[in-house]
Amino acid sequence: MSNLIEVGKPSPHTIDVVRRFAAVVFLVVSACSVGRVADDAAGDEIYGQLCATCHGADLTGRIGPALGPGSNAASRPREFLEFTIMHGRGRMPSFSSSLNDEQLERLVSYLREEQGE
C-alpha cells in the first residue's frame, strides 16, 4: 500500500519533469525573443540584452551558471567563452546569428573586465 500514489497528487518524478520542461521552454522563448543587438552596442548592453536573463544582471547566475569573479567561466580561456557564446553549450543556445565578431569581442571584453582581468 505504501507504493501507491494519491490520485490527483503528482509524483516527485512528474514534478521534476515538469520543472525541467518549463526551464527548457523558458530558455527557448528567451532566446527567440531576443531581437537584434545594435551594431554599436557596448559589451554591457549586449550582456543585458542576451545574457542577463539566464546568467543574472550581476553575473551571479540564475538558470545559467555564474560568470563573474571567482566563477568557473572566469578561469576559462577567452577562446572557450567565445566558442560557447557563438555555438552554445548544454542548455545554452547559440548566439552566432545574433552577434558579429566585433560584438562578440565587446561582450567577452566586458565579461573579462567584470571578472577582474
pLDDT at residue 34, as a whole number: 54
- DSSP-based three-state secondary structure for 89: strand
Residue position matching grid coordinates 516527485: 12
Domain boundaries, the chain: 12-114
- DSSP-based three-state secondary structure for 94: coil
Give the Å distances, CA to CA, from 15 to 7, 9, 53, 89, 91.
15, 10, 23, 25, 19
Best CATH choice for the domain 12-114 from the list 1.10.760.10, 2.60.40.1890, 3.30.470.20, 1.10.10.10: 1.10.760.10
Give the Å distances, CA to CA, from 5 to 15, 76, 105.
13, 46, 53
pLDDT at residue 27, as a whole number: 60
pLDDT at residue 106, as a whole number: 98
Instruction: Give me the tens of pLDDT residue by residue for the chain, a chain 117 residues long.
Output: 455 556 677 788 877 777 777 776 666 555 544 568 899 999 999 999 999 999 999 999 999 999 999 999 999 999 999 999 999 999 999 999 999 999 999 999 999 999 997
